[in-house]
Amino acid sequence: MGIRATGGREPRTARTDAPPRLRAGDLLDGWRYILTHPALRPLFFNTILVSSLIMATSPLLAVLMLGHLGFAPWQYGLAFAVPCVGGLIGSRLARRLVARFGQRKVMVTAGALRRCWSLGLAFIRPGAAGLVLVMAVELGLITCMGVFNPVPATYRLDRTAPDRVVRTLTAWSVTSKATIAAMTALWGLLASITSPRAAIAVDDTSQLAAPVRGGPSSMDGTSVIGPQARSTAGATRRHG
For residue 180, what is the domain's CATH number?
1.20.1250.20
Given a contact cutoff of 8 angstroms between Cβ atoms, the answer to whether 92 and 32 are in contact is: no
Q: Give the structural domain span for 83.
A: 47-211
pLDDT at 237: 40
In-domain check, residue 9: no
pLDDT at 21: 63
Distance, CA of 45 to CA of 232 (rounded, Å): 27
pLDDT at 235: 41
pTM: 0.77
Which of 63, 171, 180 has its CA nearest to residue 124?
A: 63
pLDDT in tens, 120-135: 999 999 999 999 999 9
pLDDT in tens, 4-46: 444 555 455 445 454 556 666 778 888 999 999 998 999 999 9
In-domain check, residue 10: no
Given a contact cutoff of 8 angstroms between Cβ atoms, the answer to whether 179 and 52 are in contact is: yes
Given a contact cutoff of 8 angstroms between Cβ atoms, the answer to whether 134 and 124 are in contact is: yes
Distance, CA of 191 to CA of 65 (rounded, Å): 14
Query: Which ranges of the chain have pLDDT less than 70?
Result: 1-24, 212-240
Q: Is 19 helix (H, G, I), strand (E, B) or coil?
A: coil
In-domain check, residue 40: no
In-domain check, residue 97: yes
pLDDT at 228: 42
Domains: count for the chain: 1
In-domain check, residue 224: no
In-domain check, residue 63: yes
In-domain check, residue 28: no
Given a contact cutoff of 8 angstroms between Cβ atoms, the answer to whether 159 and 37 are in contact is: yes
pLDDT at 239: 42
